[in-house]
């Protein structure tokens, strides 16, 4: 083919083929494309790092807030945590952002700690220049875990001034090896331990002081002059009693009776040798009425008994009870919810037999509670009460964390992960 080109043009073509002038321009053009790509990617990475720091700050503050506000209920803690992240620019479900709040955490060293709160913030990052190298936006994530520190209490006595707000006489035994007992009374005899009574606890914390007889035993770190601890359920709304208080029929099958949640206008009185099953839900006992269990076996999983006005609780010697609070919902963690307007002269009785098993909180913020005989509350129990006395061979045990219960602490919270 070269032979058909005129001789006069052949030398020109040879010179053009050997000419390297202008090749630098092409090389530079190709190189600049790569260099600008890397420079642009560097800008993107810098933006991502800034966003990542902002996400971590949002996760830290949200986890801290969740642990602080958990006393008002788990749903309140979750809502509050997501509000914190939203105020910092990360709204759950918007612009691809995902906010996950876990209690306990889904991973890490505190995955079995029901007091720990985990917040995970995830969001796809924008591609400005790095799309030259990346086919899809990278997903950035930040995680934080917060939990209360210091003393954790499973018994809180709220009376702020009364003598013998916590009173043990006879041979009762309080056994809370994994948590403490807090008494808010400033009296010099806020705690009275007489007879051969025994207190075994992680801590015994008292705003005022205590007295103990020669035969009494207190196996705990005792702290007097302590700061008062707030009611962990103070912000939890009491479920309103239905306007029409009409109980649903009790379903009987031989000695087995099944109760449905609702309002019981004449209270609930279990005095026979029956087996009583309470279906999950809220049970209202109207003012002036009583939840009375003196015989038989009573169980309920996910139940809350709301004591309206002057309604009271009375457990007898021959009764066996096993109640577990709901883990979620408006009464999460609460087995008993006493009306905060109940007169302080009102008294509840958990007396008699030793077969009281509670998983959750017994919340009697304005009234007194008496344990007598061989009564012994056990398992994963919290007690929040104005005043409490233990007589005879009665007792109280709590060796694990109740499902859905609020943390009773001095509100000191720290980031753990």
Q: What is the pLDDT of residue 295?
A: 87
Question: Distance between CA atoms of 393 and 370, rounded to whole angstroms?
Answer: 12
Is the per-residue pLDDT at 375 higher than 80? Answer: no
Give the pLDDT band (50/70/90) at residue 406. Answer: confident
Is the per-residue pLDDT at 183 higher than 70? Answer: yes
pLDDT tens, 70-122?
766 677 789 889 999 998 888 998 888 899 999 889 998 888 887 789 999 99
Q: Output the pTM of the full model.
A: 0.70
Q: What is the pLDDT of residue 197?
A: 92
Environment class of 47 (CB within 10 Å of its CB; exposed 0-12, middle 13-18, buried 19+): middle
Nearest residue to 312 (alpha-carbon basis) of 373, 241, 366, 355 = 366
* 174-210: burial string, b at 16+ Cβ within 10 Å, e else: bbbeebbbbbbbbbeebbbbbebbbbebbbbbbbbbb
pLDDT tens, 56-79?
888 898 888 888 777 666 777 898
Give the pLDDT band (50/70/90) at residue 2. Answer: very low
Give the pLDDT band (50/70/90) at residue 398. Answer: confident
Is the per-residue pLDDT at 29 higher than 60? Answer: no
- Whether omega for the bond prior to residue 141 falls within 30 degrees of 0, making it cis, is no
Which positions ≥6 away from 392 have C-beta within 8 Å? 170, 171, 172, 372, 373, 374
What is the rounded average pLDDT of the residues 18-46? 54
Q: Where are the domains of the chain?
A: 25-148, 153-415
Give the pLDDT band (50/70/90) at residue 395. Answer: confident
What is the rounded average pLDDT of the residues 43-51? 66
Q: What is the pLDDT of residue 383?
A: 93
| Most confidently modeled range among 198-202, 253-257, 348-352, 404-408 | 198-202
Question: Distance between CA atoms of 293 and 409, rounded to whole angstroms?
Answer: 32
Q: What is the pLDDT of residue 336?
A: 97
* CA angle 410–56–111, rounded 5-degree value: 55
Higher pLDDT, 69 or 160: 160
Give the pLDDT band (50/70/90) at residue 41. Answer: low
Least confident residue range of 8-22, 37-51, 214-228, 378-392? 8-22
Q: What is the pLDDT of residue 14?
A: 62
The CA distances from residue 264 to 13, 269, 288, in Å, are 108, 10, 12
Is the per-residue pLDDT at 222 higher than 50? Answer: yes
Is the per-residue pLDDT at 185 higher than 60? Answer: yes
Contact of 210 with 190, CB cutoff 8 Å: yes
pLDDT tens, 292-348?
998 889 999 999 999 999 999 998 877 888 999 998 899 999 999 999 999 999 999
Is the per-residue pLDDT at 370 higher than 70? Answer: yes
- In percent, how much of the chain has pLDDT > 90? 45
Tokens in use for 416?
């753990």
The length of the chain, given as a count of residues: 417
* CA angle 68–73–78, rounded 5-degree value: 70
- In percent, how much of the chain has pLDDT > 70? 80
Which positions ≥6 away from 3 have C-beta within 8 Å? none
Higher pLDDT, 285 or 408: 285
What is the rounded average pLDDT of the residues 276-289? 97
pLDDT tens, 226-272?
999 999 899 899 999 999 998 888 898 888 999 999 999 999 999 88
Question: Distance between CA atoms of 367 and 412, rounded to whole angstroms?
Answer: 28
């Amino acid at each position: 083919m070269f032979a058909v080109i005129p001789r006069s043009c052949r030398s020109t073509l040879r010179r053009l083929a050997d000419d390297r002038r202008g090749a630098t321009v092409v090389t530079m053009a190709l190189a600049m494309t790569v260099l600008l790509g890397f420079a642009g990617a560097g800008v993107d990475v810098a933006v991502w790092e800034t966003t990542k720091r902002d996400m971590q700050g949002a996760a830290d503050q949200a986890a801290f807030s969740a642990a602080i506000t958990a006393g008002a209920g788990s749903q309140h803690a979750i809502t509050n945590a997501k509000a914190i992240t939203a105020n910092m620019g990360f709204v759950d479900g918007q612009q691809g952002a995902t906010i996950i709040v876990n209690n306990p955490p889904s991973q890490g060293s505190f995955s079995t700690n029901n007091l720990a709160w985990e917040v995970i913030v995830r969001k796809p990052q924008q591609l400005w220049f790095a799309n030259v190298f990346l086919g899809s936006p990278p997903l950035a994530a930040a995680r934080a875990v917060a939990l209360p520190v210091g003393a954790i209490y499973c018994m809180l006595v709220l009376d702020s001034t009364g003598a013998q707000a916590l009173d043990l006489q006879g041979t009762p035994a309080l056994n809370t090896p994994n948590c403490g007992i807090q008494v808010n009374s400033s009296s010099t005899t806020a705690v009275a331990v007489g007879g051969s009574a025994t207190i075994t606890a992680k801590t015994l914390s008292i705003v005022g002081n205590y007295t103990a007889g020669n035969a009494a035993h207190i196996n705990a770190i005792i702290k007097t002059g302590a700061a008062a601890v707030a009611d962990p359920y103070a912000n939890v709304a009491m479920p309103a009693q239905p306007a029409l208080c009409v109980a649903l029929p009790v379903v009987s099958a031989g000695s087995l009776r099944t109760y449905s949640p609702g309002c019981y206008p004449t209270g609930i009185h279990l005095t026979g040798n029956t087996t009583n099953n309470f279906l999950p839900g809220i049970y209202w006992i109207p003012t002036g009425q009583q939840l009375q269990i003196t015989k038989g076996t009573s169980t309920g999983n996910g139940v809350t008994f709301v004591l309206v006005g002057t309604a009271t609780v009375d457990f007898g010697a021959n009764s066996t009870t096993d109640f577990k609070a709901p883990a979620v919902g408006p009464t999460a963690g609460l087995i008993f919810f006493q009306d905060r307007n109940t007169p302080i002269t009102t008294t509840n009785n958990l007396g008699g037999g030793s077969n009281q098993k509670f998983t959750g909180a017994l919340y009697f913020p304005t009234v007194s509670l008496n344990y007598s005989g061989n009564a012994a509350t056990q398992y994963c129990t919290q007690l929040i009460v104005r005043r409490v006395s233990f007589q005879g061979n009665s007792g109280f045990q709590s060796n694990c964390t109740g499902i859905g219960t609020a943390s009773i602490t001095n509100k000191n919270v720290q980031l753990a992960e």
